[in-house]
Amino acid sequence: MTVVRGRRRSHHIALVCSLLMLASASMASDNASWSSGTAYTLPSGRWEKGLFQPLRYGQTGRLEWATHPVLNLVVPNLRIKVAHREFKGWSLATRHGFHYPTPLLRLVKRPGIGGLISPESDIPEIPHILAARSELLATRTLSQSVWLTGKGGVSVALKTGEIDERTTIDLPLVFPRMALFLHGYQLNLGADLLTNLPGRWSIWTDVDLLMIPGAEESFSWEHKGLVIWSRSERFQVLVGYKLVCGAYPDYPKARTQWHLLPLIDLQWARQRKAKS
């Protein structure tokens, strides 16, 4: 019954969010934007970095690298985005990335405060896990300052051993991503809408769906709404929220839970000077 009610709520919220995205589209005006959440790659020599968003670097006009530098200490990670030819008005790109979460998971499998995974000897050591994701992004300019991006992809996790089901961290955003390690595969679908408002303001909204067909905790639906204030092409502030609806472990079957989380980020960018 809970799951059914959760699905109904999910439909309601999804509808409201879709309306919000449409509303933001109607508020469009002309302003330059950064290239977050689109199929566009950064211009050659430009890098962007946020407190929480990854460091991204445009190597050429068609190739972009991204990584979380701090996370690299405990979760080595790398992602590339490759722009492709336009198709019927849609800009296309593919994004491919990997991360190796084993060091972080072993770090938090500890006794005492900070132990997010039980250290007990009854639960086997975390195996080596290599997770990879490939996805297709397609962006269309709806008006002079509105960009719609659709995306879909697949993730796989290669493991050197089985993971005990008790190893999960049953928190929003975290559990759906750890579910990939448990089941070995995951599909993702989503859409982003980036809208420039008058002045230095813009709005970035998105919806993402993580799915593991056949699994009990099979989905996580995530929606983000961010208001962005761009001081210049080199600095912007992002404030908003993340709404998460997902299936989490429970007895006798998975339970749908909702969480609303605050989001804040600061983002810097620089353009490397071209060699003369």
Partner 1 sequence: MPVNHSRRLHYYKTLVFAFLMAVAGWHCEPIVTTFDDIEEAEHYQAADVPTILPITPDTLLVMTWNIKYGGGDIDFWWACYDDRVLMAEDEVLDNLERVAEYINRADPDILLLQEVAVDSKQAAYVDQMQYLLDHTDLDYGVYASMWRVQNAPSDGLGRTDLGPAILSRWPLENAERISLPLRTDQDPLTTYFYLRRCILKASVPQLDNLYVVNVHTAAWQAETRVKHIDQFKGELDAIDDAGGLFVAGGDLNTLPPGSQVISDFRDTKCGEGDFEGGDYSGEEDWLDDLYADYDTALPLEEYQSADDQEPYFTYGDKPDSLGFTRKLDYLFTNRTDGWVPGSDSTHQDIATPGTTLSDHCPVSVRMELP
Residues near partner 1 (CB under 8 A) are 9, 13, 16, 20, 23-24, 26-27, 109, 111-123, 166, 169-171, 197-198, 225, 241, 243, 249-251, 258-260
| Residue 118 beta carbon to partner 1: minimum distance, rounded to whole angstroms | 3
Cβ contact 248:255 at 8 Å: yes
Burial class (CB in 10 A: 0-12, 13-18, 19+), 266: middle
Nearer to partner 1, 116 or 187 (CB): 116
Nearer to partner 1, 16 or 154 (CB): 16
Q: Which pair of tokens denotes residue 185?
A: 């595969």
Residue indicated by tokens 């749908």: 256
| Residue 273 beta carbon to partner 1: minimum distance, rounded to whole angstroms | 36
Residue indicated by tokens 């353009």: 271
Residue 144: phi and psi, rounded to 5, are -65, -25
Nearer to partner 1, 43 or 119 (CB): 119
Nearer to partner 1, 137 or 179 (CB): 179
| Residue 218 beta carbon to partner 1: minimum distance, rounded to whole angstroms | 17
CA distance 29 to 40: 20
Q: How many CA atoms lie within 13 A of 231 on its CB side?
A: 9
| Residue 32 beta carbon to partner 1: minimum distance, rounded to whole angstroms | 18
